[in-house]
A and B are shown apart, each in its own frame.
Chain A
Amino acid sequence: MVAATALTEIDAHPAAGAALDIEQVSHAFDIDGADLPVLSDVSISVEPGEFVALLGPSGCGKSTLLRLVAGLDKPKSGTLREDEARITRPHPSRVVVFQDPTLFPWRTVWDNVALGLEAQGILKSQRHRVDAALDLVGLSSFRNAYPHQLSGGMAQRVALARALVNDPKILILDEPLGKLDSLTRITMQAELVSLWQRKGFTTLLVTHDAEEALVLANRVIVFSDRPARVKADIRVDRPYPRHRGDPYLADLRRQILGLLGLDATW
C-alpha cells in the first residue's frame, strides 16, 4: 500500500508537471460517411501540477479529448500543446491509464511495468525504476505473477505503476477506477492523491462520478452532452485529504449535478 503522507500543500512540486493548453479543439467521428461531432470548440488551459477532473454525461466525448491529449488521435481543428510544444503523436511524457488495466497477459507484472522503458530502449540501465514503481503501488511481492492471477484492483495498480515508471509530466486517467468495487475505489482514490502530491505531475482525470472528481481534483470541468463543450470550470479550494461529508464539497456536488441536469434526482 502507498503510505498516506500528510502532505496538504496543493502544488507541492509544481516543476515536475507540464502545462497543457487545449486551444479551440473540435473533433468529429466519421461514421458511415456522416460526420458525428464529438468535441465543439473546447479550450482549457491547465497549469503545471494541477489535478483537473473532466466530468460529463457518459458518451459526451471526454475520452476522445484524452486520446487527443495523449496524441493517439489528431483533432479535426484546433491545437493541443504540452509546455508550448505542439502535441502531434504519443510521447511517454504523457501516459494514459485506461478504464481497463489492459495489462499484457503474456508478461509478468514486472515485465508489464517495464514496458515503457523497454519500448524506449533504456530498460538495461534503468531496471531500478521498475522496482521502485512496483514498490510505489505496493506490489513488489507480485512481480513474477501473471495478470490473470491478479484481482481487479491489483491489476489497475500495476497499470498505474506501468504509467508512473516513465515519470510522466502529464498523467492521463480515463476512468481508471470505474470498474472497481467501492471499497477498493476509495483506497485507490487516496493512493492517487498521495502519488500526485509526491510526484507533482499534472493530472487529467475523466470520470462521471461527481464525488470522485471533488475528492481528488483541484479543478473540475463540466462538459455538456455530445458534442462536448465546456459548461463550467469549477475551482475546488480545499486541502487534502478531503472528506466526503465536507459540506463545502456537498454544496459543489449539488451545483455540478444541477449542471448535468440531475438536480431533481438528488
Chain B
Amino acid sequence: MSTYSLSDGLASGAPRLSRAPWLASWIRESGAGILASMAWIAFGLSCLWWEDVGDWSRTHSLGIAAFVIAAIALFGTVGADYLGSAGRALRQRAPWLVVLGVVLTLWEVATAKFAWLPLPFFPPPQSIIEVYTDDLPKLLDSVFASVKLQLGGYLIGATVGFLTGVSIGWSRAVGYWVHPVLRFIGPLPATAWLPIAFFTFPSSWSASTFLIALAAGFPVTVLTWSGVASVSNAYYDVARTLGAKPSFLVLKVAIPAALPHVFVGLFMGLGSSFAVLVVAEMIGVKAGLGWYLQWAQGWAAYANMYAALIVMSLLCSGAITLLFSIRDRLLVWQKGTVKW
C-alpha cells in the first residue's frame, strides 16, 4: 500500500516540474556561461570607462580582449552542443570564469582607476600584460635558465636517490654504511649548504645543481628505501620457488612493489627542490626566475615580480602535473590514486 501512495505522490508532482522543462534545463546548462560573459563585459567596461590614474599602454587592448573572452564564454556555452568536448569543457569551467571576471574587475577598479590599493606595490592587470609583451625575451631567458637548472638537478637527485634507496633497502652492507650518513646529512635543509657550496664549487651553476639534487635526493632515497624494505616476504618466496635469481628479485619484485612509495618521494623531492632553486637563483646564480624576481625588486618593478610569480607558479604546477601523469601511467594497477 505504501508503495502505491509513494508513486501517486511522484505522479502528481511530475506535471508541476515539467511545465517549462526546456527553460529550466537551458538555464542550468548555459546560465553560468551567460553570467561569465557578463562578468567579463564588466571587466572590459571597467578598463575602458574611466581614465587610468597612471600611464599604462595596454589598457585599451586589455578591454578589447575582455570583450572577446566574454563573447567566447557566451557563444561557447550557449552553443556548446555544437562544439563537442571543447563546449562541454567550457560549460564545466564557466563558474570559474565568472569568479575570474569579477575578481579582475575589482582588481582593475581598485588599482588603475581609483588607486584604492597603494600604487607601485599593487600594479593593475594591464601593467602585468605589459611585462609579458615588452619584457618577453628576458622573461623567456629566465624561464629557460630555471627549467634547465631545475631539470638537471632534479634528474640527478632523483636518480641517485632512487639507486641509493634501492641499495639500502636491498643490501645490509650498504645500509650499514649509508644509513648513518643519510641520517646525518639528509634532514639538513639543502639551503643551509648555500654559502659553502658557492665557494667550493667551480661555478654557481654546478653548486646550485648539487643543492637541488641534494634537496630532491633525500626524500626519494628515504621513500624508495622504505618502499623496498616493506615489500612482503611472500612475494620473494613466490618468485624464488618459480626460479627467480637475485637480479629478478630486485628488478621485477622489489622495485615494482616499491614504486608507489618512490612516487611519494619524487613528489616531495620536487617540492623541496623548487624552494632550493628559487633561493639559489636569488643568491648566487645570475639567471632564472628567482634572479628575475630579485632584479625586479631592485628596480622596484613590481609588475615584473607579479608576472614572474605567475609564470613560476605555472611552471611548478606543470612539473607536478607531469609527474602525476607519469605516475598514473606506471601505476594503473593501483586503485584510487589521487587526482592532481
Question: What residues of chain A have their CB less than 8 Å away from a CB belonging to chain B?
Answer: 70-72, 90-92, 94-96, 98, 100, 102, 104-108, 115-116, 118-120, 146-148, 162, 166
Contact = CB atoms under 8 A, between A and B. Distances in A.
A44 to B, nearest CB: 20
Contacts of B237: 72, 96, 98, 102
Contacts of A90: 240-241, 243
Contacts of A166: 242-243
A148 B238 contact: no
Max count, chain B CB within 10 A of own CB: residue among A72, A91, A115: A115
Contacts, number: 68
A37 B333 CA distance: 41
28 contacts: A70-B241, A90-B241, A91-B243, A95-B241, A95-B242, A96-B237, A96-B241, A98-B234, A98-B237, A102-B232, A104-B235, A104-B238, A104-B253, A104-B256, A105-B333, A107-B256, A107-B333, A115-B238, A118-B248, A118-B252, A119-B242, A119-B243, A119-B244, A119-B248, A120-B242, A146-B333, A148-B335, A166-B242
Nearest to A165: B242
B264 interface: no
B259 A106 contact: yes
Nearest to A120: B243
A94 B237 CA distance: 12
A100 B234 contact: yes
Interface string B215-239: 0000000000000000010110111
B68 interface: no
Given A90-B240, A148-B333, A119 B235 contact: no
B332 to A, nearest CB: 8
Nearest to A149: B335
B245 interface: yes
Contacts of B335: 148
B217 to A, nearest CB: 25
B254 to A, nearest CB: 11
A92 B333 CA distance: 27
A106 B245 contact: no
A106 B337 CA distance: 14
Nearest to B256: A106
Given A90-B240, A104-B253, A146-B333, 14 more contacts: A72-B237, A72-B240, A91-B241, A94-B241, A98-B238, A100-B234, A102-B232, A106-B257, A106-B333, A116-B242, A116-B243, A119-B242, A120-B242, A146-B332
Question: Interface of chain A, helix or strand or loop or mixed?
Answer: loop
Nearest to B234: A102
Contacts of B234: 98, 100, 102
A119 B239 contact: yes
A88 to B, nearest CB: 13
A234 B123 CA distance: 92
Contacts of B238: 96, 98, 102, 104, 115, 162
Contacts of A102: 232, 234-235, 237-238
Contact of B245 (A94, A100, A107, A119): A119
7 nearest A-B pairs in the assembled complex, by CB-CB distance = A116-B242, A119-B244, A92-B243, A120-B243, A90-B240, A106-B256, A102-B234
Which of B241, B244, B256, B332 counts the most chain A CB atoms within 10 A? B241
Contacts of B253: 104
Contacts of A70: 241
A148 B334 CA distance: 8
Nearest to B335: A148
A192 B148 CA distance: 60
A29 to B, nearest CB: 15
Pick from A90, A94, A147 the residue with the most CB of B within 10 Å. A90
A221 B237 CA distance: 25
Interface in B310-337: 331-335
Interface in B161-186: none
Contacts of B240: 72, 90
* Residue of B243, B253, B332 with most partner-chain A CB within 10 A: B243
A148 B337 CA distance: 14
Nearest to A92: B243
Contacts of A95: 241-242
Nearest to A94: B241
A147 B240 CA distance: 20
A159 to B, nearest CB: 8
Nearest to B243: A92
Nearest to A172: B241
B147 to A, nearest CB: 32
B256 A162 contact: no
Given A100-B234, A102-B234, A115 B333 contact: no
